[in-house]
Every structure is written in structure tokens, then in C-alpha cells.
Structure 1
Amino acid sequence: MFAIIGASGNVGRSTSSALRQAGMPVRAIVRDSAKGAPLRELGCEVAVADLQNPASLEKAICDADTVQVILPLRPLVKDPAGDLSLSGTSIIHALRQTRPSRVLAISDYGAHVSENIGMPSIFHEFESLLHTVESYKLILRSAEHMHNWGRVIPVALSSGTLPTFQDPIEMVLPTISAQDLGLIAARLLLRPQSGSDLDIVHAEGPRRYSASDVATALSELSGRTIHAHAVPRSQWKSAFEQLPTSLADLLIKANDAKNKGGLVDVEPNADEVIYGTTELIEALKRFTNSPHNSQNLGRL
């Protein structure tokens, strides 16, 4: 039995679908039973559990051989950073109690860095806790998801300017389609275990992209010229003022680390990096209403 925590999300749904296509039994663990319907249609068993209630998680994964875990960001809660840490602690407690044979944990590029660099540091802490779980552990560190650009695409399409915290705008950074990440996770779960009790794999898209590349892709999709514009560092605090304080702090530190270069990246001397196949322009089609891609929107 493959138990997928967060199965209704982009990554979890992709993993669940790939495992079902391979004929594997999948228990899709969701927070809201209403989100289980599409997963039932895939042939998954659906279980409802609260990520911050270890007892309900234990019940959902107690007889699973393999568990895939992900820390979901809930930006609307009062303290998103504290919420992530609480979910992580609850997941670790449940895994310690149930001791599945294998655990695949979705982590983040930069999680190897010991200094505080915002969001990746949440995963640095989570990985440290994972070491206390008596199971074979496969940590899948992910580059930033391509769909995160969706937050500013409406502004770009209406104004012709894509605001970005990437500076310089020509700097290329790793990114990946969430669907590709889920497929990579499924392939890792289906391959034989290595002889160690811990493996770390990195995953990113077929190539790296800059903010200027994003603007070019949006220009092609929308039919209007769009330029990337780096938001001055002095304006970052005001740009994030609508967000909860702890989330703004995570994002500001992470963007500082990205712009510094070499931190939110593959760990030096990493053993394995797997590349997805989805190009940026394909991932961004869902966020535009251009005639170029109207026929593709239903498939993404």
C-alpha cells in the first residue's frame, strides 16, 4: 500500500495517478473529504486526516508499506511558518509510531543550507527530524514550482510588466512543473531501494529560466509584449505587507538567498539530479486566455 499525504495537491495527485497507472494500490490522504472524489475515480482508497493531528495520521498510514509526505503551505493562516513547523512535527510523530518500510519526503532546494534562508530552512528542520524516523528515507528536493508565477501573471497580462524579486532579471534559476515532480516521485517509489537508509535526490525542469524568460513566454502566449521588472529591494517589505508577517519573512529571506546565488540550489556533490520534461511555456498556458492555448487549457 502506497499512502500519499496531501494527495489532492498538484504533486500528490500526480504521484497517485502514476502509481495507479502502474497498478499499485494507493491510499490518498486528504484533509477535506470533498477533494477525494477525483482520487476515487483513479481507483484510490481515500482517507481523511488532519496533518496536525498525529492520531488521525497514524490511523491513515498505519498499515502502509510506503508513505509520501509533503508540507503544504497555507498562506491564509495567521502564522504560516509556525503552521508548517506544526504540520512537520505531527507528520514525524506519526511516522515514528507507524514505522513504514519507506518514506519519500518532498523537500526544497536549499534545504542543505544551515543558515536561515527562509522557506528552505523550514525544510532543513524537517529533514533533520526525518533522520529520527526508523524507515528507509528518500528525500526528494524540489526546485521552485513553475505555477508559482501564476500569482503575478494577471498583473503582467494587464499591465505589460512582470514584477519579480529575481534580480538581475536575466539570472537563471531552477524550477519544475508540479506534475513532473509527482511523476518523478512515483518513479522513485517504484524502483528498488538502495542499500542505505537515506538517499537524497534533486529534481528540476528540463532547463533553468530567468524572469526575462517568463516574460518572453507570457508574451508569446498572450500576444502582447511583456517585460520583466525587478522590484527594488527597498520596496520588498511594502510588497509583502498584505501577507502574514511570518510568511513575508520566509519569502524575503528566500529571495535574498536566490539573488545571492548558489544557496537555493542543488547541494554540492549531490549524487542524483532528475530532470522533468515540461517546459515553462507549457506550464504557464493555464494562466492565460490566449487563443494560442485555449484548446490546451482543459488538459493542464
Structure 2
Amino acid sequence: MYAIIGAAGKVGYATAQVLRQANVPVRAILRDAAKATPLREIGCEIAVADVHNTSELASAIRNAEAVHVIIPPSPQHKDGAQDMRDIITSIIAALEQEKPNRILAISDYGSHVARDIGMPTVFRGLEERLRNLPGNKIILRTAEHMQNWARAIPAAMESGTFVSLHDPLDTPFPTISAPDLGKIAAEVLLRDAAGEKYDIVHAEGPRRYSANDVAAALSDLSGRPIKAVALPRSEWQTAIERGASPSLATLLVKANYAQNEAGVVDVEQGAGEVRYGKTELIDALRPFVSP
């Protein structure tokens, strides 16, 4: 049995699809039973559990050979940063209780950096706590998801300006389509592995893109000119708080500061393999743009 915590999201669903195509049993663990139908249709067993409730999580992962961990941020929570840390604590406690043979956890590019760089530092904490658990642990560090730009697309279509926190605008950075990350997670889980191991895998797209590349893709898809513009750093916190709690916004501000420093939010040199998704940026953005 392969249990997926956070199976209803783009990453978790893609993982479940590949695992089911390989004819292995999948238990999809959801916070909301209303999201179960697509997973049930591909043959998943469904378990509903509150990620804050260690007892419910432990029951949901019981007897699973492998557990795939996805930490969902909660933008609407009044303290989104603390909520993520609380979820990590709950999941770690459930894993300690049930002791699955294999754990694959989604982490973040930059989580190896010792100083506080916001969101990657939260995942650094997850990695450190997983290291002490028994069994085979796989840390799958992900580049930024291409789908994250969907929130900025309506304003870009209306104004002709794609506002970016990436600066310089022509600097390429690692990014990946979320479903590609899910597929990579499934492929790694299906590899033979046993014993006390702690492996790191990095995942990014087929090539790196700049903010200018995002604007160019939006221009091609919409048939109208879109120009990338760097948002002044003094406005980052306020802009992000329009869709997230102040504490979560602070994590993202710090992460973007670090991302604009060359080589910081990147592959950890000498640590683990790098796997590449196949989806190009323009294809990841296509569903969000009406010509």
C-alpha cells in the first residue's frame, strides 16, 4: 500500500495516477471528502484525516509500505507559517507511531541553506526531523511550480504587464510543472529500495526560465503583448498579503529575496540526483490563458 498525504492536489493526484497505472494499491489521504471522486475513479482507497490530528493521520497511514508526504500551505489561515509547522509536527508524530518502511517527502529547493530564507527553511525543519525516523527516507526537493503564476495571469491579461518578484528579469531560475513533480515522485517511489537510507532527489523542468520568458509565453498564448516588470521589493509584503496571512507572506518574501541571489535557492551541490520534468512553461500556462 502506498499512502499519499495531500492526494487531492496537483502533485498528489499525479503521483496517484502513475502508481495506479503501475497497478499498485494507493490510499489517498484527504482533508476534504468532497475531493475524493477523481481519486476514487482511478482506483484509490480513500481515507479522510485532519492533518492536524496525529491520531487520524496514524490511522490513515497504518499498514502502508510507503508514505508520500505533501505539506499543504494554508493561505487563509491567520498564521499560515505556524500552521505549516504544526502540520509537520503532526505528520512526524504519526510517522513515528506507524513506522512505514519508506517515506518520500516533498521539500523545497534551498532547504539545505543554513540561514533563514523563509519557506525553504520551513522545509529544512521537515528534513531534519525526517532524518531521525527509521527506514528508507527520500527527500524530493522541488523547484518553484509553474502553476503558481496562474494567480498573476488575469491582471497581466488586463494590463499587459506581468508583475514579477524575480529580478533581474532576464535571469533564468529553476521551475517545474506540478504534475511533473508528482510523476517524478511516483517513479522514485517505484524504484527498489530498502534499509536505513536517506536520499535526496531534486526535481525541475526541462529547462530554466526567466520572468521575461513567462511574459513571452503569456504573449504567445494570448496573442497580445505582455511585458514583465519587477515589483519593487518594498511592495512585496503588501502584495503577497492580498492572498496569504502576514506570516506566510513573510516566508515567501524571504524566499524570493534568496531566490534572486544567484545559486542560493538551487540544487545542493554534491547532494543527490536531479530529475527533469518534460512540460515546457508555455504548456503549463496554457490552461490558464484564454486567447
| Matches for 1:140-289 after TM superposition, within 5 Å | 140-193=140-193, 197-242=197-242, 243-289=244-290
Distance in 2 (alpha carbons) for counterparts of 1:240 and 1:63: 40
Which residue does the alignment assign to 1:137?
A: 137
SS at match of 2:218: helix
Partner Cα separation in structure 2 for residue 128 and residue 176 of structure 1: 24
Call closer, same or farther: CA 1:286–1:266 in 2, change over 3 Å.
same
Report the AA paired with residue 113 of structure 1: V
Distance 1:240 1:189, change over 3 A: closer
Structure 1 CA distance, aligned partners of 2:196 and 2:271? 15
Distance (whole Å) between structure 1 residues aligned to residue 216 and residue 119 of structure 2: 27
Contact 2:135 2:196 in 1 (8 A): no
Q: Who is 1:92 aligned against?
A: 92
1:47-86 matches, cutoff 5 A: 47-86=47-86
| 3-state secondary structure, aligned to 1:152 | helix
In structure 2, distance between residues paired with 1:229 and 1:8 = 34
Q: Which residue of structure 1 lines up, in the alignment, with residue 14 of structure 2?
A: 14
User: Given the two structures, how large is their TM-score scaled by the length of structure 1?
Assistant: 0.95
Instruction: Give the number of aligned pairs.
Output: 290
Specify whether residues 241 and 187 from structure 1 end up closer, same or farther in structure 2 by C-alpha distance, changes over 3 A only.
Answer: closer
Closer/same/farther in 2, CA of residues 99 and 236 from structure 1, 3 Å limit: same
Identity %: 57
C-alpha separation between the residues in 2 aligned to 1:34 and 1:236? 34
The Cα of 1:240 is off from its aligned counterpart by 3.1
Q: 1:162 to 1:33 in 2, by over 3 A?
A: same
1:255 maps to amino acid: N
Q: How far is the alpha carbon of 1:151 from its aligned partner? A: 1.2
Conserved? CA contact 2:135–2:194, under 8 Å: no
**Stretch deviating more after TM superposition (187-196 or 263-272):** 187-196
Q: For residue 46 of structure 1, what is the aligned residue in structure 2?
A: 46
**Counterpart-to-counterpart distance in 2, 1:151 and 1:227:** 16
Secondary structure in 2 matching 1:247: helix
Quote the Cα distance in structure 2 between the aligned partners of 1:199 and 1:237.
35
C-alpha displacement of 1:196: 5.2
Gaps of 5+ in 1: 291-300
Aligned to 1:297: none
Change in Cα spacing, 1:45 to 1:237, as seen in structure 2 (3 Å) is: closer
Q: Provide the rounded CA distance (Å) in 2 between the counterparts of 1:239 and 1:100.
A: 41
Secondary structure of the residue aligned to 1:234 is: helix
Q: In the TM superposition, what is the alpha-carbon distance from 1:194 to its structure 2 partner?
A: 6.3
Deviations 1:9-46 (A, max 9, x none): 10000000110011000001101111111111000100
Q: Report the AA paired with residue 173 of structure 2.
A: L
Q: Partners in 2 of 1:220 and 1:85 — Cα distance? A: 40
d(CA) in 1 for partners of 2:239, 2:41:
41
Cα distance in 2, alignment partners of residues 180 and 237 from structure 1:
30
Amino acid at match of 1:85: R
Distance in 2 separating the partners of 1:191 and 1:65: 13
> What TM-score comes out, normalization by structure 2 length?
0.98
Deviation digits for residues 158-217 of structure 1 (CA, Å, limit 9, x no counterpart): 100000011110011000001000000010011111665110000000000000000000
Across the aligned residues of Structure 1 and Structure 2, the Cα RMSD in angstroms comes to: 1.0
- What stretches of structure 2 of length at least 5 have no aligned partner? none
The 3-state SS of whatever aligns with 1:14 is helix
Measured in 1, the distance between the counterparts of 2:157 and 2:272 equals 40
Q: Which residue type is aligned with residue 97 of structure 1?
A: Q
Contact residue 13 and residue 39 of structure 2 kept, 8 A: yes
* Counterpart amino acid of residue 31 in structure 2: R
Amino acid across the alignment from 1:179: P
